[in-house]
Chain A
Amino acid sequence: MSTILRPYLYLAGGIALVLVLNLLVGGIGSYDQRIVVNIGINMILAVSLNLVNGFTGQFSLGHAGFMSVGAYASAAFTTMVLPAASDPMSQGLYLIVALLVGGLAAAVAGLLVGVPSLRLKGDYLAIVTLGFGEIIRVILQNVSSLGGALGLANIPRHTTFLWVFIILVFVVFVIERVIRTTYGKGFLAVRDDEIAAEAMGVNTTRYKVVAFVVGAFFAGIAGGLYAHYNSLIKPDDFGFLKSVEIVVMVILGGMGSTYGVIFAAAALTYLPEWLRSFTMFGIKFSDFRMSIYSLVLIVLMLVRPQGLFGGFSFKGRRAAAKKAPIG
């Protein structure tokens, strides 16, 4: 079969799978549906952060910040600019437009954050992105036209299972496709050895900014989906903890393995929900679930830091970081 067509067949297959699943999802309860949609949104977040943290080897701890920019921009656009939509056709159309607005706003934020901070490395970059995320949150808390700390309410519920997962299929398609090209290998080169990549003519700064902006764009779209699903968004929905959650999905998924990251996003979204209803020896785990979650994280780092599906281990980067002097 032609190599030109094959990727599109994957794309078509992915969409077909989503359509079939959509029929099945119609039959489950609304509580479970909510979990499934949250899983999908988290998958988009994790796959997009994986471009930055996994493929490009940077360490962003502010993904929730970009998500919030997308959520607020798209929600504001829907509630303040677009007219009300009644039929599913225009609802879908309006959602797409609002998501693009949210994605672009987040991409601009990604550019503003990325350009100055990408000179920093490792935990310093992590801290700066964390700081930016917190600043975005504090600003949102103080903008009264966006609802302040109480949040923005009455966002039309345009997001459906179908939209979330179709968009996920496209995000995976884009990232997996780009990463296989000669251009896309540049991201991996930056991760593996920045100095060697530069010496080979790769503009590493440019790559890092692109990864940041594209990652932020998709995070913004995920934020838009979140806003149009929950109808109410608050600055605290996008705190430091949300960023940590997404980072953990990427690490657990193996840093740079898209499918591992997708699986980890599903598992980590479902785990706390499952613990919520889990009882053993008469002890209700719902109280302990977040303690268990954090313990799992610690044990994982001790036992299997390369993630459950780690193709790329941290080793390469540690070696690169350690052998600092070129002679």
Chain B
Amino acid sequence: MSEFLQQVINGLSLGAIYALIALGYTMIYGVLRFINFAHGDVFMVGAYIGFYAFPKLQPLLGDGYGTAVAVLLAAMIGCGLLGVTIERLAYRPLRSRPKLTVLITAIGISLFLEYTGQLPVVFGADYKTFPTLIPETTYTLFGGVSIGSTQILVFVVALALMAALRVVVLRTKIGTAMRAVSMNMNAASLMGININRVISFTFFLGSSLAGAGAVLYAISYPKINPLMGILPGLKAFVAAVLGGIGNIAGATLGGFLIGTAETMTAGYISPSYRDAIVFGILILILILKPSGLLGKGGAEKV
């Protein structure tokens, strides 16, 4: 039983990170109706921003949580700007084009970030060790179940960001505009909403969440390299689909479910099937309920 609870805690902490990445997928899908394949690689860049920002920030802010928060913010802002740039240069010119063209472009961006990241003059192909942002302490809860300070930080930051996102989307003017655009872009535009600004803002928001996810991922699994975004990106995408793509609560739920499913598979079946289980879930959900757990069903209009 205690082993099971331990797996749940580990799964939820991994899932919180997937949820942050999944939120970006789902928000961008919500407004533009396309899968931003490069999202996982924006996430990767976030880890490197954190990696390079840390030695600059640490002398200024010391060893405490101040540096950790500053590194997190640096990665969020950096990724946000990267996301906005990608949208501006590559996706915006294609907005009226068929979705498959945009999908291929997104794959192109993804490959570009991965390969360019591997260049020696950029990040280099080798693994780098992400710095320790906060001292690692393990707290024993009960019956041998323990939780680390890193995991606590992951939960706190992820939940705080999700709450903040909820406020932005539901309570602010730009959040209302986002929801309007996701329901009907043409109508929103006729109502005087600046579509381009809303889309840029969505990319900024979604990409900055990926940046936050990257720092949390990197302090949990401190080996980073330019290909590190591929699998978490795909899994977060599965999380978004599982919850119902375009649905913000769904992405959060999906993230936690995928994280838990993955650690359970690794713990109880075999670590080598932890990736396969995620794709298995994807295929099952797409075949059984393509609209996802929280997505609206609704017959497809022919």
Q: Is the CB of B275 within 8 A of A134?
A: yes
Partner of A132, one of B120, B283, B290, B301: B283
A131-B282, A290-B111, A297-B104 are known contacts. Are A116 and B241 too (CB-CB below 8 A)?
Answer: no
Partner of B109, one of A135, A240, A288, A298: A298
* A294–B117 CA distance with the chains assembled, in angstroms: 13
Main secondary structure of the interface of A (DSSP, over half): helix
- State how many angstroms separate the Cβ of A270 from the closest Cβ of chain B: 18
User: A6 within 8 Å of B by Cβ?
Assistant: no
Q: Is the CB of B302 within 8 A of A324?
A: yes
* A295–B238 CA distance with the chains assembled, in angstroms: 27
Chain A residues with CB under 8 Å of B108's CB are: 294-295, 297-298, 301
**Interface-side segment among A154-162, A179-187, A209-217, A314-322:** A314-322
Interface residues of B in 262-283 (CB under 8 A from A): 270, 272-273, 275-276, 279-280, 282-283
Q: Which of B93, B115, B275 counts the most chain A CB atoms within 10 A?
A: B115
User: A117 within 8 Å of B by Cβ?
Assistant: yes
User: A251 within 8 Å of B by Cβ?
Assistant: yes
Q: Is the CB of B112 within 8 A of A294?
A: yes
* A42–B280 CA distance with the chains assembled, in angstroms: 29
B residues at A contact (CB < 8 Å): 34-35, 90, 93-94, 97-105, 107-109, 111-112, 115-116, 118-120, 230, 234, 237-238, 241, 270, 272-273, 275-276, 279-280, 282-283, 286-287, 290, 301-302
User: A311 within 8 Å of B by Cβ?
Assistant: no
A–B complex contacts, Cβ < 8 Å, 13 sampled: A116-B287, A117-B283, A120-B290, A123-B35, A126-B100, A290-B118, A291-B112, A293-B115, A297-B105, A297-B108, A301-B101, A305-B98, A318-B97
A138-B275, A142-B273, A314-B97 are known contacts. Are A117 and B286 too (CB-CB below 8 A)?
Answer: yes
- State how many angstroms separate the Cβ of A145 from the closest Cβ of chain B: 15
Q: Is the CB of A120 within 8 A of B286?
A: yes
Q: 8 closest A-B pairs (Cβ-Cβ)?
A: A294-B111, A297-B108, A290-B115, A294-B112, A298-B108, A138-B276, A131-B279, A318-B98
Partner of B301, one of A142, A251, A294, A324: A324
Known: A123-B100, A127-B237, A314-B97. 18 other contacts (CB 8 A): A116-B287, A120-B286, A128-B283, A138-B272, A139-B276, A247-B104, A251-B104, A287-B119, A287-B120, A291-B112, A301-B94, A302-B90, A302-B93, A302-B105, A305-B101, A324-B302, A325-B302, A326-B302
* A188–B302 CA distance with the chains assembled, in angstroms: 20
A residues at B contact (CB < 8 Å): 59, 116-117, 119-120, 122-124, 126-128, 131-132, 134-135, 138-139, 141-142, 195, 240-241, 244, 247-248, 251, 287-288, 290-291, 293-295, 297-298, 301-302, 305, 314, 317-318, 321, 324-326
* A247–B101 CA distance with the chains assembled, in angstroms: 12
- Closest Cβ neighbor of A255 among chain B residues: B100
Chain B residues with CB under 8 Å of A297's CB are: 104-105, 107-108, 111
Q: Is the CB of B279 within 8 A of A122?
A: no
Chain A residues with CB under 8 Å of B116's CB are: 291
- State how many angstroms separate the Cβ of A267 from the closest Cβ of chain B: 16
Q: Is the CB of B90 within 8 A of A123?
A: no
- State how many angstroms separate the Cβ of A256 from the closest Cβ of chain B: 13
- Closest Cβ neighbor of A149 among chain B residues: B272
Q: Is the CB of A124 within 8 A of B290?
A: yes
* A326–B263 CA distance with the chains assembled, in angstroms: 46
Chain B residues with CB under 8 Å of A134's CB are: 234, 275-276, 279
Q: Is the CB of B97 within 8 A of A305?
A: yes
Q: Is the CB of B115 within 8 A of A248?
A: no
- State how many angstroms separate the Cβ of A291 from the closest Cβ of chain B: 5
- Closest Cβ neighbor of A243 among chain B residues: B107
Chain B residues with CB under 8 Å of A298's CB are: 90, 105, 108-109, 112
- State how many angstroms separate the Cβ of B272 from the closest Cβ of chain A: 5
- Closest Cβ neighbor of A116 among chain B residues: B287
- State how many angstroms separate the Cβ of A150 from the closest Cβ of chain B: 13
- State how many angstroms separate the Cβ of B246 from the closest Cβ of chain A: 13
Q: Is the CB of A127 within 8 A of B282?
A: yes
* A139–B107 CA distance with the chains assembled, in angstroms: 25
Q: Is the CB of B119 within 8 A of A127?
A: no
- State how many angstroms separate the Cβ of B102 from the closest Cβ of chain A: 8
* A247–B103 CA distance with the chains assembled, in angstroms: 12
* A139–B108 CA distance with the chains assembled, in angstroms: 27
Chain A residues with CB under 8 Å of B234's CB are: 134
Q: Is the CB of A293 within 8 A of B111?
A: yes
- State how many angstroms separate the Cβ of B172 from the closest Cβ of chain A: 30
Q: Is the CB of A295 within 8 A of B112?
A: yes
Q: Is the CB of A122 within 8 A of B99?
A: yes
- State how many angstroms separate the Cβ of A62 from the closest Cβ of chain B: 11
Chain A residues with CB under 8 Å of B230's CB are: 240
* A127–B94 CA distance with the chains assembled, in angstroms: 20
* A314–B100 CA distance with the chains assembled, in angstroms: 9
* A119–B102 CA distance with the chains assembled, in angstroms: 22
* A59–B99 CA distance with the chains assembled, in angstroms: 11
- State how many angstroms separate the Cβ of A234 from the closest Cβ of chain B: 15
Chain B residues with CB under 8 Å of A139's CB are: 276
- State how many angstroms separate the Cβ of A115 from the closest Cβ of chain B: 10
* A301–B102 CA distance with the chains assembled, in angstroms: 8
Q: Is the CB of B283 within 8 A of A122?
A: no
- State how many angstroms separate the Cβ of B280 from the closest Cβ of chain A: 7
A134-B279, A291-B115, A301-B101 are known contacts. Are A124 and B286 too (CB-CB below 8 A)?
Answer: yes
Partner of B98, one of A116, A291, A314, A325: A314
Chain A residues with CB under 8 Å of B111's CB are: 241, 244, 290, 293-294, 297
Q: Is the CB of B282 within 8 A of A128?
A: yes
A142-B272, A318-B98 are known contacts. Are A127 and B104 too (CB-CB below 8 A)?
Answer: no
